[in-house]
Chain A
């Protein structure tokens, strides 16, 4: 069974960089595209970007200047970095498998941006 688990700090200071890692089990990361999606509290879903195991990436244009997604095939993980965060980046961050639609999701990690 495919499982994804997000990990990383739950609190980030304004202007700093948010960093999250998604660990995949039950599947090889070298077979699909993998995505990050976020959801501000009480709001809808926003796709952040995706990565192929080869390292090829595709980002949401609204976040592209601040986002970096990378992959670590040896540990079956992929990661998200979002720089220069503000309170507007406070959200639950989900990792998911897929690039057109998303078949498996992690449980989500709440990241709060606050001093």
Chain B
């Protein structure tokens, strides 16, 4: 099973700042099979990025994904108030899907 480790656990930033979230895999992951989700309290996760760098429908362009192999990054260029949430990466490999433990982006 591929383990995804996200860092940092918590990111304290102010609106307007840039957020950089990391997701590291225990084995190489195909870029086609790496996704990012946003989850707010009491809500279901929302797909932000798939294929490591493609934005899902309706996702603002301040969200971008990059990376390959074992290191992937989600960047939020300028934080809006509605972006403070928990973010998860997720991979598909060998018919299995696993999620990272999440990064909480909180207001500083």
Contact = CB atoms under 8 A, between A and B. Distances in A.
Contacts of A44: 88, 99-102
Interface of B: 1, 32-33, 35, 37, 43-47, 50, 56, 88, 90, 92, 95-102
A72 interface: no
Given A60-B96, A100-B92, A101-B90, A45 B45 contact: yes
B48 to A, nearest CB: 10
Residue among A45, A47, A105 with the most chain B CB within 10 A?
A45
Nearest to A98: B47
15 contacts: A44-B99, A45-B37, A46-B99, A47-B96, A47-B98, A47-B99, A60-B96, A61-B96, A96-B44, A99-B92, A101-B33, A102-B90, A103-B47, A105-B44, A107-B44
A47 B47 contact: no
A9 B99 CA distance: 26
